Chains A and B, each alone.
Chain A
């Protein structure tokens, strides 16, 4: 049976390759520190499941210390990225590029159905596994195709990965670390504190106020926690069910659907939802870490206002 560990191991090998490429490059100014950073990351992905919580915590502090002392600055990998080749024929580039999403979606649909030796091929416990296994398979297939069609040197995948990772720098780790912070927040009772604030913000419990507090509270809670799924149960139990449904006989299906989507408006503007907002900024090498959030903020604000209006007009029974 395949678990997420197999996909993590693949990423671990990639980070180990990047660490080696940096460490073996004599012209790299802070090669040892840089290799140490990606080496620790490789250990986390290859062995994190066996390490134990405290050791993983120490590993996090090591990564943060290396990044904060500038181990990743002044890297030269990105400078060497330019090649003077004339571009390959379009189809040899687009076929592998399109293979990534197409194979990913096909694999994410097919793999969970496959049963092998009396059990499922993919472990059913990890919800993100089909998508992640799909991504890994799509990448492997695309890489195989690209290398076969383009006939590039065998070291090029790792060397070009190293260039891109060095261009991104410590920002590559920020999303995962922020996601971890969300879990620490949840454990420390930040969610409960925010729901107290939301309840205290309710001026008078008329229809408009409860809809406003519920929708804006969903968005604000999501901004803090980075996840609408964490906000929904708390806000719905605290404000939605007792007031919108209980007192004013609102339709629970309308409330739930539009309430959750109000939370998604918050997801669009928070760095805590790092995989949606900070990962692409790093992936696209934007100079402004919050560039994607800035691009999304007007849509999020207008949509939240529209959503609140939709809830107000749709949720209550017609007189």
Chain B
């Protein structure tokens, strides 16, 4: 079971990455160095590593396509999107006349996002499409309304980070319930490769317990976020 020592050599790339991030060199330079360390350890020539890195960079351009959203978000923000989002959230009154808190707003978004993902509508939402233009400003506005004052930068960042986190957790633990999602098909393929034919329905059904657990855990943390703000605001 124990690997030959040479098998572990490519891990120097991981070591370079971690070390570079820890001593806070420019991360782009660290990543490039880690690619070369890993490739050279796997006995590629420097020119081969350059080509592999170039091809991988080119193949992964879709990751940077989120920046397409920037011109429209910029125009809307300059015209006052954040102010209007703040007003809309401040006007909202829940049952009992309570103002909307950041945690409750994010919890509502979590449930909506998890359900729509389970139905296969993962594109309805996302960091560029939904969180940056709408969810994050609304959550910030809700937190400001409950605090009765502008947020300091640390708390503003905390609310924004939770807006992004809520989108990720909800979609990760919702999409696997959808039969045709890529990971269900991958699971089925790998199991079939090992001689076990399993229906997609059986796989997606067993994604439900974890989805429920994710809702309970993350929902409790979002409500805890509200309590933290109330304590700090008082």
- Give A contacts to B, CB under 8 Å: 4, 7-8, 10-11, 14-15, 41, 44-45, 48-49, 51-61, 63-64, 67-68, 81, 83, 85-88, 90, 92-94, 96-98, 100-102, 104-105, 108-109, 127-128, 130-132, 134-136, 138-139, 142-143, 146-147, 150, 152, 156-161, 163-165, 170-185, 187-190, 192-194, 196-197, 199-200, 202, 224, 228-229, 232-233, 236-237, 241, 245, 252-254, 256-261, 264, 267-268, 271, 274-277, 279-281, 283-284, 286-289, 291-292, 294-296, 298-299, 302-303, 306-307, 310, 314
With A48-B58, A177-B57, A284-B160 in contact, is A161–B71 under 8 Å at CB?
A: yes
For the complex with contacts A178-B31, A241-B191, 8 further pairs of A-B residues with Cβ separation under 8 Å are A54-B50, A142-B72, A152-B79, A157-B72, A173-B28, A280-B164, A283-B132, A284-B164
* Chain A neighbourhood of B130, CB < 8 A: 100-101
Interface residues of B, dominant DSSP: helix
Residues of chain B within 8 A of A105, CB atoms compared: 121, 123-124
Interface centre among B28, B49, B125 (most CB of A within 10 A): B28
Q: Which residues of B contact A245 (CB under 8 A)?
A: 194, 196
Whether B26 and A256, one on each chain, are in contact in the complex, defined by CB atoms closer than 8 angstroms, is no
- Asked whether, in the complex, the Cβ of A181 is within 8 Å of the Cβ of B61, the reply is no
| Interchain residue pairs A-B with the least CB separation, the first 6 | A87-B80, A160-B74, A57-B54, A56-B54, A196-B3, A57-B50
Cβ of B68 and Cβ of A139 under 8 Å apart?
yes
A-B contact count (CB 8 A): 440
Known pairs A146-B75, A237-B194; A189 contacts B50 (CB<8 A): no
Indicate whether B108 reaches chain A with its CB closer than 8 angstroms: no
Contact, CB under 8 Å: A108 / B31: no
Instruction: Identify whether the interface residues of A are mostly helix, strand, loop, or mixed.
Output: helix
Chain A residues, Cβ within 8 Å of B101? none
Counting chain A CB atoms within 10 Å of each CB, which of B29, B59, B72, B221 scores highest? B72
A152 to B80, CA, bound (A): 12
State A10–B61 Cα separation when bound (angstroms).
Answer: 12
* Chain B residues near A306 (CB-CB < 8 A): 210, 213, 217
User: How far apart sit A310 and B14, CA to CA, in the bound complex (Å)?
Assistant: 31
Q: Which residues on B sit within 8 Å (CB–CB) of A15?
A: 67
Per-residue interface assignment for chain B, residues 165 to 204, with 1 indicating a CB less than 8 Å from any chain A CB and 0 otherwise: 1011100110010000011001110110110101100111
> Which A residues are CB-close (under 8 A) to B31?
64, 174, 177-178, 180-181
Give, as a whole number of angstroms, the nearest-CB distance from B183 to chain A. Answer: 5
Q: Residue B143 at the A interface, CB < 8 A?
A: no
Q: List 19 A-B contacts (CB under 8 A).
A: A54-B50, A56-B55, A64-B31, A101-B130, A105-B121, A131-B123, A143-B75, A146-B72, A160-B77, A161-B71, A181-B34, A184-B49, A190-B38, A264-B173, A268-B172, A277-B168, A287-B153, A287-B157, A299-B218
